[in-house]
A and B are shown apart, each in its own frame.
Chain A
Amino acid sequence: MSLKLSKKDILLINRIQRNFPLCEDPFAQIAEELGFEKSWVLKRVNKLQQESIISRFGSVAKRKNDNFSTLAALKVPPERVNDVAHLVSSYDEVTHNYLREHEYNLWFVVHASSEKKLNSVLEDLSQHVDFPMLNLPILESYHSDRVITL
C-alpha cells in the first residue's frame, strides 16, 4: 500500500461506503456532514480511486438466479487439505472457500438457482470425500450489508 491513510481518510472512507447521498451534489453533503472542505473530499476520493482503494462508485448487484445458498464446512485431515480444497473450489456454485483454524477447517459458501441444485452440489461432494460435513443455511439475517468499517 503506497498511500498512508490519515484519521481524516478513515472518517471519509467509512462515510462513503454506506447511505451514499442521492442528491445533485453528494460530495458537498458529505463534506458538510464531516466538516471537511468539498474540494478536499473530491480530490481525496479521486485519489483513493486512483490508488485502487476505491474499486468502484456504484452498486453491488444480487447474484442473478442464485437465490439459494448455504455455508458448509468439512473436517479434513491436514494432509488432505490442499486436494480437497481444490476439489471444493472446482464447483462453479462455490463462491468462497477458506481454510480456517478449527477442527472443521474447510469453510465454503455455495450458491445455486434452486434448493435441489444446492443439495446436489453437497451430495456430489460427499460422494467424493468421506469427511464429516456441516450444512448451515441462513435461518435469520440480522445484518448483511457486508460493509467493513475501518
Chain B
Amino acid sequence: MIDINQQKKILTELVNGLPICEEPYKDLAYKVGISQAQLFEFIHELIDSNVIHRFGMIVDHEAVGYKENAIVVWDIPDEEVDQIGALLGLQEKISLCYRRPRQLPDWPYNLFTLIHGKTKHDVISELNNIIKANRIENYACDVLISAETFKCSGKRSDG
C-alpha cells in the first residue's frame, strides 16, 4: 500500500498544485511510484476523512469581481435550527452555514450564513432570493455587510 513518505509527497504536491493538462494525475502517480487508481483511492480517503477540505480548481473570487460579502445572522427557534440550518446550507449562494450560541440580551442570533457577491446590492438581492424561495420571511435576520478587510490570511488553508 501507500507508505507514509508517499502520502506526505502526495499531500505536498496537492497543496502545491497539479498541472492543467490531459491526464493531470499521471506524473504524480509515476513520481510517487503508484498507479493512478491507487492515487484516486487515496485522494478520496483524504476528502472523506477531512484531511483536505476540498479538491479541485481553487478560484480567486476577487479576481472575478466577487469583492463583497455579508455574514447574514438569523434568530431561529432552537427546535427548528437544525432543519433551517440544513436548508440554508444547501443554497448555492451560501458558502458557510453554522450554528453559534446566542448571547442574550445583546445577541439573539444563533444561525450564521456567508454570502458573497460583486456588489453590496448583489449580496442583498441574493439574500432576498433565498428568503423568498425558501419562505423564511418570518424569521428575524440581520445583515453584516463587509466594509473593510483588515486581515484575510491563509489562501492555502482554511481560515
Chain A residues close to B by CB (< 8 Å): 1, 5, 13, 16-20, 22-28, 42, 45-46, 48-49, 51-64, 71, 85-86, 88-89, 94-102, 104-105, 107-109, 111, 132, 134-150
Quick check: B63 and A52 within 8 Å, CB to CB? yes
Quick check: A62 and B158 within 8 Å, CB to CB? yes
- How many residues on B have C-beta within 8 angstroms of the other chain's C-beta atoms? 76
Other A-B pairs, 14, CB within 8 Å; known A98-B149, A134-B103: A45-B57, A55-B58, A55-B60, A57-B17, A58-B17, A63-B159, A95-B151, A95-B152, A99-B150, A101-B144, A132-B106, A138-B99, A145-B53, A148-B59
Instruction: Report if A61-B11 is in contact (Cβ < 8 Å); known contacts: A98-B149, A100-B144, A146-B54.
Output: yes
Instruction: Report if A111-B159 is in contact (Cβ < 8 Å); known contacts: A94-B151, A143-B90.
Output: yes
Quick check: B26 and A24 within 8 Å, CB to CB? yes
Tell me the complex Cα distance, A89–B43, Å: 35
Chain A's interface: helix, strand, loop or mixed, by majority? mixed
Give B98's nearest chain A residue, CB to CB: A138
Contact of A148 among B25, B85, B116 (CB under 8 A): B116
Task: Give me 27 A-to-B residue pairs in the complex whose CB atoms sit less than 8 angstroms apart, sorted by A's number.
Answer: A13-B57, A16-B57, A18-B56, A22-B44, A45-B20, A45-B57, A54-B58, A54-B60, A55-B155, A56-B16, A56-B57, A57-B57, A57-B58, A59-B15, A60-B156, A63-B159, A100-B146, A134-B106, A136-B100, A139-B100, A142-B98, A143-B95, A143-B97, A145-B95, A146-B96, A149-B95, A150-B64
Q: Hey, which chain A residues are within 8 Å of B24, CB to CB?
A: 26-27, 57
Q: Hey, which chain A residues are within 8 Å of B25, CB to CB?
A: 22, 24, 26
Quick check: A102 and B64 within 8 Å, CB to CB? no
Q: Hey, which chain A residues are within 8 Å of B53, CB to CB?
A: 59-62, 144-146
